[in-house]
Amino acid sequence: MGFVGPNGAGKTTTLRILAGIFPPSGGRASLGGVDLVRDPVGAKRRLGFVPDTPELFAHLTVAEHLELAGRLHGVEDRDARAERLLRELEIDDRRDHLPDSLSRGMRQKVAIAWAFLHAPDVLLLDEPLSGLDPIGIRTAKAAIRARADAGSAVIISSHQLELVEAMCDSILIIARGRALARAPIRELKDRVREDATLEDVFFQVTGGAGPESAPSEPPSELPSDPDAP
């Protein structure tokens, strides 16, 4: 699912709540049916999270990052999985490098590998492709798609609407902390007009570009989300 909204809409905050970093100020937050407040550890076992501009441990090599991820999640065959992931994301030649010697794109790939290693049920990806070169974007997109095909629930937050359109089946649009629309992308586009792009849908739903101009209520002709935060 794509997760989009204007700057300041609350996307990163929402993802941080779902990642158990921020406490929800109201309502419920759960992952795979497990309540994040009542059983945070149980909920996080199902989670893989890639934050925006992820930071890595400065004194841990790439391979050690994945070793740590495997240990934290109790993955038995972590070495084999790490090896596969390093090859899949094309960073196997950097396994013994420290983050300082990696480019931004490489660090992003390590963060993605960290989130994928334990094959989580839920993947929260905040701008997962930022900093990647075209080859890296293709590689990462394929890797994300593969996880979704394998049954993981994937939520991608991004400002790149083309990317969201290409990768996601459905979309959630928020503004000012409120869900404005949640539906399959095709359905939303059809409701706007026959040849509409996701960008057209976005502007139609949010009513403009900035958080100030976003409507406080979802447009009536578009499907809204009653369970949204």
What are the phi and psi torsion angles at 189 (to 5°)? -65, -40
- Touching another protein, residues 108-127 (CB under 8 A): 111, 114
Q: Nearest CA to 4 among 140, 122, 165, 131?
A: 165
Tell me how far apart the alpha carbons of residues 198 and 161 are, in angstroms, rounded to a whole number: 7
What are the phi and psi torsion angles at 5 (to 5°)? 175, 165
| Shortest Å, Cβ 135 to another protein | 25
* Residue with smaller CB distance to another protein, 72 or 148: 72
| Shortest Å, Cβ 191 to another protein | 35
Tell me how far apart the alpha carbons of residues 112 and 132 are, in angstroms, rounded to a whole number: 12
* Residue with smaller CB distance to another protein, 16 or 189: 16
| Per-position b or e across 34-71, b if 16+ CB within 10 A of its CB | bebeeeeeebbbbbbbbbeebebeeeebbbebbbebbe
* Residue with smaller CB distance to another protein, 98 or 196: 98
| Shortest Å, Cβ 110 to another protein | 10
* Residue with smaller CB distance to another protein, 54 or 105: 54
Tell me how far apart the alpha carbons of residues 66 and 181 are, in angstroms, rounded to a whole number: 37
| Shortest Å, Cβ 8 to another protein | 13
Residue 4 forms beta bridges with which residues? Answer: 173
- Touching another protein, residues 18-37 (CB under 8 A): 19-23, 25
Please name the residue that has the structure tokens 């979704």. Answer: 148
Q: Which of 42, 104, 142, 190 binds another protein (CB under 8 A)?
A: 42
Q: Which of 27, 41, 220, 227 binds another protein (CB under 8 A)?
A: 41
Tell me how far apart the alpha carbons of residues 98 and 107 are, in angstroms, rounded to a whole number: 10
Q: Which two tokens stand for residue 221?
A: 């002709």
Of the listed pieces 15-23, 136-144, 165-173, 185-193, which binds another protein according to CB under 8 A?
15-23
| Shortest Å, Cβ 204 to another protein | 32
Site size with another protein, rule: CB under 8 A: 35
| Shortest Å, Cβ 15 to another protein | 10
**Cβ neighbour number for residue 176 with a 10 Å cutoff:** 16
- Touching another protein, residues 45-84 (CB under 8 A): 45, 47, 49, 51, 54-61, 64-65, 67-69, 71-74
Residue type, 68: L
Residues that bind another protein (CB under 8 A): 16, 19-23, 25, 40-42, 44-45, 47, 49, 51, 54-61, 64-65, 67-69, 71-74, 98, 111, 114
